[in-house]
Structure 1
């Protein structure tokens, strides 16, 4: 007979403000209850869809949901609908970013890329990051940190590389500004 599972512990408040993985986890917890749930994760995709004005049947929305499903399945390995802070910290690393997160985050980038030119302008970037649970002022500072040449556009590759660098502890001016 299966043993009842212990109630998951909430994320430690100090970790959510002092470590890159903790800050990202806090952003994933869209309702602020101390857990990143399936609902939290897919709420971010829905907010990105709404922010970009796309319909549910838009191929990019469908792709974002499909990559989101794969990412969530990988993150919620025990299938209980909750990814605790401890599970997230133990799970996320460079390999997981490269093989799971990059695709999900790239699909969200593509939603925001209105003209599909592989780059976001400031308003597209800010709308995406707000949909993903970052403050507008942080998104604005993150855009400035990434737009080193002052061209007014952030490319998909540099965007994803910056998130990867932040998660893996390599340092990211964009990540530092966002979180």
Structure 2
């Protein structure tokens, strides 16, 4: 059980280490934001683009605050693993900051502005994360726990917590990242 959860933490570290230099840095976080901007066809200079970049700035600040133990502006695998175990697995300090970031991310994903993130919109987000089209459909079906046809902040946050705390294979959180990434430790 613990090995599965640790592997998931290590897999998300690999996802965040976009340039593959063994640490998460601000440049990696901006690369993730850029990947989403491109996926949504949103220029960084637009209002929605600026909001996404600002959300990723807050995400970086949250990571540094909670994960960068030696305060060198770089988060190594052990720092990330220890912080994620404390913050998510042990119900630690990410709370409010994380909710704001998730809300910003879902606001960007709501491309038609109807206040909901439907399956098509969520698919863009997950494809940018490396899921196949088939995995996106399965992920949406698992994350839409109330069956209303949209992913809410609460559903997304619950899935993230589930990903880091529940080692089972077919839970909502188990669908947040590509199965190949989770199983092999490879990233996209």
Measured against the shorter chain, the TM-score band is 0.7 to 0.9
From the superposition, tell whether residues 106 and 134 of structure 1 become closer, same or farther in structure 2 (CA, over 3 Å).
Answer: farther
C-alpha RMSD over aligned residues: 2.7
Q: Name the counterpart of 1:72.
A: 60
Unaligned runs of 5+ in 2: 178-188
- Counterpart contact for 2:161–2:173, Cα < 8 Å: no
Q: Name the counterpart of 2:78.
A: 86
Q: Name the counterpart of 1:97.
A: 94
From the superposition, tell whether residues 60 and 16 of structure 1 become closer, same or farther in structure 2 (CA, over 3 Å).
Answer: farther
From the superposition, tell whether residues 130 and 34 of structure 1 become closer, same or farther in structure 2 (CA, over 3 Å).
Answer: farther
From the superposition, tell whether residues 127 and 62 of structure 1 become closer, same or farther in structure 2 (CA, over 3 Å).
Answer: same
Mapping of residues 95-134 of structure 1, within 5 Å: 95-131=92-128, 133-134=129-130
TM-score by structure 1 length?
0.74
Alpha-carbon deviation of 1:112? 0.9
Q: Distance in 2 between matches of 1:144 and 1:95?
A: 29
TM-score by structure 2 length?
0.71
Q: Across the two proteins, how many residue pairs are aligned to each other? A: 163
Deviations along 1:138-157, one digit per CA (max 9) or x if unpaired, are 33321121234554322232
Q: Distance in 2 between matches of 1:88 and 1:63?
A: 25
From the superposition, tell whether residues 176 and 58 of structure 1 become closer, same or farther in structure 2 (CA, over 3 Å).
Answer: same
Alpha-carbon deviation of 1:123? 1.9
Unaligned runs of 5+ in 1: 1-14
Deviations along 1:98-130, one digit per CA (max 9) or x if unpaired, are 133332232122111113333222221111122
Name the structure with the higher strand share.
Answer: 1
Q: Name the counterpart of 1:11.
A: none
From the superposition, tell whether residues 178 and 151 of structure 1 become closer, same or farther in structure 2 (CA, over 3 Å).
Answer: same
